[in-house]
Structure 1
Amino acid sequence: MKAVPLTAALALTALAVCAPVSEATPSVRAGRVTLTNADNGHPVTVHTGDDVQVNLTGSHEAGLTYSWSVPVSDAAVLHRTAGSTTPRGDATARFHAERAGIAVLSAQRHCRAEPGHLCPLVVTPWKVRVEVK
């Protein structure tokens, strides 16, 4: 049997465990699902007791900042335990799956203009249907 240095063994273990995640697929860790801008419109299934982390990224271009509202849930199925926004337009929220059922997570992206710029009158919705089993 050949001895493998510890650092090489750890690196091989990390490669085997950490498969790349598609941008349109929620990132799943034991007990936690992470959703991003790319998950808009995609259904997600979690289990009672799991946490759902939402990380939405704003953008800035040509004097306009596109900012997200703090994500919310429309049902008692998912209870929000944290939520915040940043001046750059990002928004985050964490939800805990309290009981079985269906909930919709949602947020809205809106425009903030710098002086001398005008925003389009458009609000962009973000929604994810979450089934808790």
Structure 2
Amino acid sequence: MAAVRLSNADAGGPVEVHVGDTVSLLLPEPPTTGFTWRWHVPVGLRVLVDERVGMSPGAPGRETQRRLAVEVTTAGRHELVAELARPWENAARSRLDFVLAAGAAESAAGR
């Protein structure tokens, strides 16, 4: 199965994937503002990893990134939503929609 990497530039348009693929999404996350990414993961995707990366000792306030990795478990159209928001606020500062068009799993010979 394939590893597919996405960034904020991939938001909006459909991305073709297959059942069994792992999709990783990496988004910038400002650590000292209280804003974090929250996910709306549809049925058909299974969360494997949700972590902050890029934190360095001795570099307070340095921008980090949030990494989400999901496995595609069923075929179909899956809309993964990322919202940058503060946990204590209802409204999101920004929203990104990622559309995954998942086909049936391909055999190793078919890739």
Superposition TM-score tier, normalisation by shorter sequence: 0.5 to 0.7
Deviation at 1:79, TM superposition (A): 0.8
| Structure in which a larger fraction of residues adopt helix | 1
TM-score by length of 1: 0.57
Distance change in 2, residues 1:80/1:48 (3 Å)? same
The structure with the largest alpha-carbon Rg is 1
Q: 1:37 & 1:72 partners in 2: Cα distance?
A: 15
CA deviations on 1:14-45 (whole Å, 9 max, x unpaired) are xxxxxxxxxxxxxxxx6011111211212111
Query: Unpaired segments of 5 or more residues in structure 1?
Result: 1-29, 112-120
TM-score by length of 2: 0.67
Kindly report which structure 2 residues correspond to 1:53-132, keeping only aligned pairs within 5 A, or say none: 53-59=24-30, 65=33, 67-75=35-43, 77-85=44-52, 88=63, 90-110=65-85, 123-132=93-102
| Structure in which a larger fraction of residues adopt strand | 2
CA RMSD of aligned residues (A): 2.7
Runs of 4+ in 1 over 6 A off after TM superposition: none
Point out which structure has higher relative CO (alpha carbons under 8 A, 6+ apart): 2
Identity score, percent: 22
Query: Unpaired segments of 5 or more residues in structure 2?
Result: 56-62, 104-111
